[in-house]
Amino acid sequence: MVDLAAFETKLGYTFEGKRLLETAFTHRSYLNENKAAGREHNERLEFLGDAVLELVVTEFLYAKYPEKPEGDLTSYRAALVNTVSIADAATKLGMNEYLLLSRGESKDTGRARMIILANAFEALIGALYLDSGYETAKKFIADQLFHKTDDVVEKRLWQDAKSKLQEIAQEKQGITPTYQVMSQSGPDHDKTFLVGAFIGTERLATGEGRSKQEAEQDAAQKALAAKGW
């Protein structure tokens, strides 16, 4: 069993309800291998935490940018609370060390792990909310995410990678990028797509994802990095 007291020290918060904290770190796959554990997985807490996260970030952005229209605020919020952003915050908190996963899931270090971390981060918010209320959850979110806001706005990180690549490619080279599926693998319910991002005949990068759209975004993000854009 992982030592969650060490995580509480790192967090700077001690839970009244220790089971809430344990549940936040418990992935569904762990219970499949530990049926006698008498535990609950973290999906209900994640559902609650997601709603709290959205409200806290919405409230913050509404106050911070009084002149911005709803569309801009929605884009900023999406960039702050997306899987990459909150998985990064979870990683910096060291949450990876405390996850309760099946043996199979514990070997995965790719995008699947990023999603598990993001979900655990939201579940932790839900646990904090239930243990101590809105203000405690709000302080946690503020400490972990609000510092990213200026970067998101200044570097246009709120703009999705495909839109950003298209805008810069048209501006610099007068060409609209195209995307091509290079390969796909896996059963119908769990496919992985490999997509190439092209400017003309030049392949800038390839991206991977569970859908064509996700793979295209990944390819566009890597193309931006490859071009130094």
Q: What is the DSSP letter of 26?
A: B
User: What is the amino acid identity at position 197?
Assistant: A
N- to C-terminal Cα distance for the chain?
Answer: 45
Contact assessment for residue 195 and residue 179, using Cβ atoms and an 8 Å cutoff: yes
Please report, for residues 2, 17, 18, 58, the alpha-carbon distance to residue 13 in angstroms, rounded to integers and kept in the order given. Answer: 17, 12, 12, 24
> What is the C-alpha to C-alpha distance for residues 52 and 46, in angstroms, rounded to an integer?
10
Residue 119 among known ligand-binding residues: yes
Residue 97 among known ligand-binding residues: no
Structure tokens belonging to residue 55: 């409200």
Q: Which of 22, 50, 160, 216 is catalytic?
A: 50
Residue 46 among known ligand-binding residues: yes
Q: Is 122 a catalytic residue?
A: yes
> What is the C-alpha to C-alpha distance for residues 69 and 214, in angstroms, rounded to an integer?
27
How do the residues of the chain divide into helix, strand and coil, expressed in percent and rounded to 5?
A: 65, 10, 25
Using a 10 angstrom Cβ sphere, with 0-12 exposed, 13-18 middle and 19 or more buried, the burial of residue 195 is buried
Q: Which of 122, 131, 160, 216 is catalytic?
A: 122
Structure tokens belonging to residue 134: 């809105």
Which active-site residues does the annotation give? 50, 122
**Residue positions in the annotated binding site?**
46, 119, 122
**Residue positions in the annotated binding site for Mg(2+)?**
46, 119, 122
